[in-house]
């Protein structure tokens, strides 16, 4: 999987799965645009890649803002020479059922997780067309095809992201643009650790996350990143519109992802 001469945008690239993606693309010769709201983690990731001889540049932006995304894509295309790959990875979580979650929290999650992916695609696709095609990979979740208690906004956003993926795949196939969605299970990221910290017994939540998977453990960010990089590569040239579980067998048992666990803490995790 060689990405020499390719320009890759990764949103939420400063930590977790996004950071692992940036490192993996750069190690394979790609020029990586690291997009994140957090300047500290974004710059640190770019510096780490640079120390290893890779090419990466940090761009601070809020993907839920049309104006910021438009300016971001213009900057990346101008400074890095175009856009070949887009990884829509930025995501947040706010807990609550439909009668409990506030409109502000709902909007916050949907704006980042779903609207952000739409806006990035909206502005990046014309740049891909100029290059003769490209690849879009969206970071969904096992919750793109299942539901979890107390997470209505997150679940809806991830279901919507799968729908966006399929629409992009259909609408832009003739432009040689592929779109796919990865669906991670519980991955050991800062976001998951934050979710566990909301419980009175975080260590029990982490243990429960391990037990949810057929493989008996949570996944690591690089294990998801490697699948994302594959889907973005020419090795996946006949794959588009797909939803690929990267979940350690979490979705395999009858009864769904949370059937094996009970308790408040277990219900607060599972997202990427």
Q: How far is CA 239 from the centre of its chain?
A: 18
Active site includes 154? yes
CB 164 within 8 A of CB 121: yes
Q: How far is CA 253 from the centre of its chain?
A: 24
CB 139 within 8 A of CB 272: yes
Q: How far is CA 77 from the centre of its chain?
A: 21
> Nearest 5 degrees, angle CA 245-CA 251-CA 254?
155
For tokens 């048992």, the residue is 253
Burial readout 246-265 (b: 16 or more C-beta within 10 A, e: otherwise): bbbebbeeeeebbeebeeeb
CB 45 within 8 A of CB 190: no
Instruction: Determine which one of 95, 123, 154, 172 is catalytic.
Output: 154
> Which region, left, alpha or beta, applies to residue 216 given φ > 0 means left and ψ of -120 to 50 means alpha?
left
> Nearest 5 degrees, angle CA 30-CA 24-CA 4?
20
Catalogue the active-site residues. Answer: 154
């Amino acid at each position: 999987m060689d990405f020499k001469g390719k320009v890759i945008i990764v949103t939420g690239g400063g930590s977790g799965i996004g950071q692992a993606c940036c490192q993996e693309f750069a190690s394979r010769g790609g020029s990586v645009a690291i997009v994140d709201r957090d300047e500290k983690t974004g710059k640190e990731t770019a510096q780490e890649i640079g120390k290893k001889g890779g090419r990466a540049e940090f761009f601070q932006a809020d993907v839920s803002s049309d104006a910021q995304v438009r300016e971001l894509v213009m900057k990346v295309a101008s400074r890095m020479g175009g856009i070949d790959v887009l990884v829509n990875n930025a995501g947040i979580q706010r807990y609550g059922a439909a009668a409990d979650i506030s409109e502000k929290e709902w909007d916050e999650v949907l704006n980042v997780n779903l609207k952000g992916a739409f806006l990035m695609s909206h502005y990046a696709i014309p740049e891909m067309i100029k290059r003769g095609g490209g690849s879009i990979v969206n970071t969904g979740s096992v919750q793109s095809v299942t539901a979890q208690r107390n997470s209505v906004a997150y679940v809806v956003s991830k279901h919507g992201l799968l729908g966006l993926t399929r629409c992009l795949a259909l609408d832009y196939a003739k432009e040689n643009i592929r779109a796919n969605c990865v669906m991670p299970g519980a991955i050991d990221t800062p976001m998951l650790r934050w979710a566990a910290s909301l419980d009175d017994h975080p260590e029990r939540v982490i243990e429960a996350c391990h037990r949810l998977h057929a493989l008996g453990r949570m996944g690591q960010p690089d294990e998801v990143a490697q699948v994302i990089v594959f889907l973005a590569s020419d090795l996946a040239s006949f794959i588009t519109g797909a939803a690929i579980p990267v979940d350690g067998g979490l979705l395999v048992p009858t009864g769904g992802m949370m059937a094996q666990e009970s308790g408040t803490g277990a219900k607060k995790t599972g997202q990427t």
